Amino acid sequence: MSNTTANASAKMPTWYIPHGGGPCFFMDWNPPDAWTRMADFLKSLASTLPRTPKAIVMVSAHWLEPHLTVTSGAQPELIYDYYGFPPHTYELKYPAPGAPALAEQIVKMLTTAGIASAPDAQRGFDHGMFIPLKLIFPEADIPVVQLSLHNSLDPARHLEAGRALEALRDQDVLIIGSGMSFHNMRAYGDPQYGPISDAFDDWLTTAVESGPQERYRLLANWEQAPGARLCHPPRAEEHLIPLMTVAGAAGKDAGHKVFSDRVMETTLSAFTFG
């Protein structure tokens, strides 16, 4: 089979990506190059795809609901849900269209799997969506649907939600989890958390790269990882949970760590499946 034929038949992967700190990629930072490698990684991601996605499902750490909720508006507005940043960062634009028909399909898929869900035609796109997508797909011409987290932050629930959506990948829908593999706000910049973040990252990499059944078991029990609650404090693990949804949507496909960097004294990584 030729590479062209292989690419034409390959299903979309799923991604778990870091989205940085607020609008960090679009402002000055100290040190100036703190986010450069992460930005370069995000800019390179689209070139790894078999073809341009027909649509994107973005699972953002910045949206929690009592049941899984899907943006269903035709042209959602941006939500500038970061605070204390330079004025120009509240004028960033990302005019990607919504995908009401895809949103309806997602609700049906989740409901069929016994997972309570609902559309929300008023909800906009938060910065967990538009900040990384401005780097990955700067033209903003691919329709996007955001999928919330469940406010229980139960990892198994999100793994199951991903499983329910796996078939979207055969329809050229790219499923992205947007968060941070280390997210303890009080620990950033503290050198003593470097080794703690390294140990957790090593465990997370092993979990992601395990076979599908073992991967499910480990991720569902991520709290047992070394330093888990130092890296993601209780009720603050919303930046890790998007990984569960994309891992669930991976089905039996292999997972790999594709990026890692040291930022603010901690290790931050990205993973892909498929």
How do residues 33-43 score in pLDDT, each as one tens digit?
999 999 999 99
Q: Rounded to whole angstroms, how far apart are CA atoms 189 and 266?
A: 7
Provide the pLDDT for residue 9.
72
Query: Topology of 14-273 in CATH?
Result: Protocatechuate 4,5-dioxygenase; Chain B (3.40.830)
Residue 265 has pLDDT above 50, yes or no: yes
Q: What is the pLDDT of residues 43-71, one digit of tens each?
A: 999 999 999 999 999 999 999 999 999 99
Q: 97-146 pLDDT, tens per residue?
A: 999 999 999 999 999 999 999 999 999 999 999 999 999 999 999 999 99
Q: Where are the domains of the chain?
A: 14-273
Q: Which of 188, 202, 148, 244 has its CA nearest to residue 22?
A: 188
Q: Is 28 helix (H, G, I), strand (E, B) or coil?
A: coil
φ/ψ bin of 200: left (φ > 0), alpha (ψ from -120 to 50), beta (otherwise): alpha
The mean pLDDT of the chain is: 96
Q: Please compute the mean of the pLDDT values over residues 223-232 and round it to a whole number.
A: 98
Q: The pTM is what?
A: 0.96
Give Cα 85 distance to the centre of its chain: 22
- Predicted local distance difference test score (pLDDT) of residue 1: 36
